Amino acid sequence: MFEPEQNRGRHSPDHGGIWGKSAKKRWHSGCVGGPFVPSNISVVIATTVRMPAIQSVSLFSGRVIRFTDNKLAAALESIQLNHPRLIAIEALLAQTPAGKGFIERVERLGLRGSAIHLIVQSNGKWTTTPYNVEPAAGAADAGAHGDRKAVIITTPAAAAAALKGANTRRAHRFKVLESLNAVVENKQANLVNISILGAQVVSQPSLRPNDNVKIALPDGDATVRLTAHVAWSVFEQARMGSETYYRAGMEFTDAAKEILEDYCRRHCEDLPLPSY
């Protein structure tokens, strides 16, 4: 039985708070199958790099609780306790292994009335759009991850972009034709794919999110030198043997578009990789 209205304090669910440990179980039951509607709270999750820009624009009404990508466990706990009406996650973060795992955990909570949206940047402006997932048919990067899911944007403009292969990405990625050994912070890394805005690499030395790094890309007898910050990183282990490595996505901070377009033409496949 739920606590009578007259006995609820200012920290009741109707006020966006919690009742305390003794009532936590009762509130969870209400969230999943009971009479409560979601609270007027929006939980926003973004990378530490982009959170200031997202926070500077008024995308959300009501109370807003913000978490960066290094606080995903705290964000999940807040969602469990507050039953927010909106859970908004930065689109590029949602495409990382950590982001996908976070969304899957949120979906397993089964919070009725809570909507998941993606925060996307389009034409220099931040906006939100509903989130949905479908299997990624023929994704070139699937490999051993054949069950990988694709982020599908369900607004008309984004749907049109998806038909062109753009999806939420700001630039096409291209698979490297042959193995290229890049140098990241004076240590060797294998270049997996690249765009004019960033690259994915595999490295045995550790690469941590938000690290600022110097990159040297081989280009025949020359070298293309860039700086970047690590947007995401995941620790992996080969299926056969005990070899371990880090797979990381990096965003260039000083790249010249023309130089990287030429680089992609010389070293990458003609067709871009599918967005997912």
Residue 130 is part of which domain span? 37-163
Q: pLDDT tens-digit profile of 152-177?
A: 333 333 333 333 333 345 678 888 98
Are residues 45 and 150 both part of a single domain? yes
244 and 135 part of one domain: no
Q: pLDDT digit string (tens) for 214-247?
A: 999 999 889 999 999 998 888 877 666 667 888 8
Q: Please check whether residues 180 and 154 belong to one and the same domain.
A: no
Q: Is-contact 92 149, C-beta < 8 A?
A: no
3-state class of 250 per DSSP?
Answer: strand
Residues 206, 100, single domain; the answer is: no
Verify that 159 and 179 share a domain, yes or no. no
Q: Are residues 158 and 238 part of one domain?
A: no
Number of domains observed in the structure of the chain: 2
Of all residues in the chain, what percent are helix, strand and coil, respectively (each to 5)? 25, 40, 35
What residues in the chain have per-residue pLDDT under 50? 1-35, 133-168, 276
What is the CATH classification number for the domain harbouring 131? 3.40.50
Same domain, 156 and 182: no
